[in-house]
A and B are shown apart, each in its own frame.
Chain A
Amino acid sequence: MKAIGILSAAAILTSVPAAAVAQSGSLRVYTCDTTISSQPPLRIEDEASLAGAILEEPSLITLPNGMKAVQFGVRYAKRLLPSDRILKVRYTVDWTDDCGRRITNGAKTVDGLILNPGQYQTVQSTAMHADAARAVLRIYVSNQ
């Protein structure tokens, strides 16, 4: 009985630091040298909806591997259907970390899709750095 007591006490003692390590492994600690950004995690500048490419359900998600991504849908506006125009939708996603520091990786590029009459498309744009936490989505139609 005494041996069981000693073993269980030892088990509790050894499990405490393990739990602490496991917890600290999942935490992201930031030291900001600037004021922490008070902006919402996802900001949207939508110039596409008025031009006929309706932005739907934009959201900021976390992928299973921990990377952040912006997801949204674009729907061809019914009012444009008689015109039969093909829309060139363009978008950019600018990423910052939790301190509001801009994260740049790779060349500055615009992304895009072609929206045919009646079409609906979903898009996912993934951050190119694990520290990226906040995003600004700018979306517009280029063939005005």
Chain B
Amino acid sequence: MKKIATIVLTATALAGCQTIPITSSNPNAEMSRTGQPGLVSFGLQSTDFEYAANKAVQEFLESPFSKKPGGGRWVVQMGEVVNDTTFRIDTASMTSRMKIAMTRTGQFIFTGATGRERTDFVADSRQLSKSKLFDKKTVARSGTVIAPDLEMLGGIRQRTVVGADQRQQQLEYEFDFRVVERDTGLEIFQSFIPIEKLGSNKSFAW
């Protein structure tokens, strides 16, 4: 009888210690590619980037500005994407997904000649014409690089909210992206995708 009482008391004590699972407003949070149930963490996961990128592109495609007046594709320059969270994240996890989806619509093409994702390749190729090593017919000509029409830039922000009883915390993420048109300087589009994660105040993502 004493043993049973001890077991019941231990079980009750352990039940009190169990942590609250983390729940996310991202409907894909528990999706997994491993065949095992997916883990949900307070940090940003690939499912969060995928969800936010899809939503942002979808919203942009709903906008009347997603079609270039007169036809053709918008040439887009990637601008600065600020990571304003407490985590060290590579913003390319988000921007690459957006770029892939936007390019596949056939309405946008990204430039590697200007902006934050500029490569030296375009400018360096122009220097090759000065070298005697290269066949002049095969080097890049001047005046052929296409200027961007749009710049896409944004930020990822985070806020932490702790419950009054200190038991639960909620992490709120904001994926904020905007697109500026070159000629008019007008911001032709902005998307704002929030993701919230709620769980025990004892669980930390860092």
Contacts and interface: CB of A to CB of B under 8 A. Distances in A.
A binds B: yes
A69 B57 CA distance: 14
Given A64-B64, A67-B62, A109-B50, A130 B27 contact: no
B192 interface: no
Chain B's interface: helix, strand, loop or mixed, by majority?
helix
Contacts of A67: 61-62, 66
Interface in B67-112: 67, 97, 100-101, 104-107
A109 B51 contact: yes
Contact of B62 (A105, A112, A114, A124): A124
Interface string A120-132: 0000111111100
Interface string A78-120: 0000000000101000000000000001110111101000000
B67 to A, nearest CB: 5
Contact of B57 (A112, A128, A142): A128
A65 B63 contact: yes
B58 interface: yes
A63 B62 contact: yes
Interface in B16-68: 25, 27-28, 31, 47, 50-51, 53-54, 57-59, 61-64, 66-67
A128 B53 contact: no
B63 A90 contact: no
Contacts of A105: 101, 104-105
A109 B28 contact: yes
Nearest to B106: A130
A62 to B, nearest CB: 12
A66 interface: yes
Range for the number of chain B residues in contact with chain A: 20 to 34
Interface residues of A, number: 24
Contacts of B101: 105-106, 128
Contact of A128 (B25, B61, B64, B67): B61
The interface centre, meaning the residue of A63, A107, A111, A112 with most chain B CB atoms within 10 A of its CB, is A107
Contacts of B54: 106-107, 109, 128
Interface of B: 25, 27-28, 31, 47, 50-51, 53-54, 57-59, 61-64, 66-67, 97, 100-101, 104-107
Given A90-B27, A125-B58, A126-B58, 17 more contacts: A64-B64, A65-B62, A65-B64, A65-B67, A66-B67, A106-B50, A107-B54, A107-B97, A109-B31, A109-B47, A109-B50, A109-B51, A126-B61, A128-B54, A128-B57, A129-B105, A130-B105
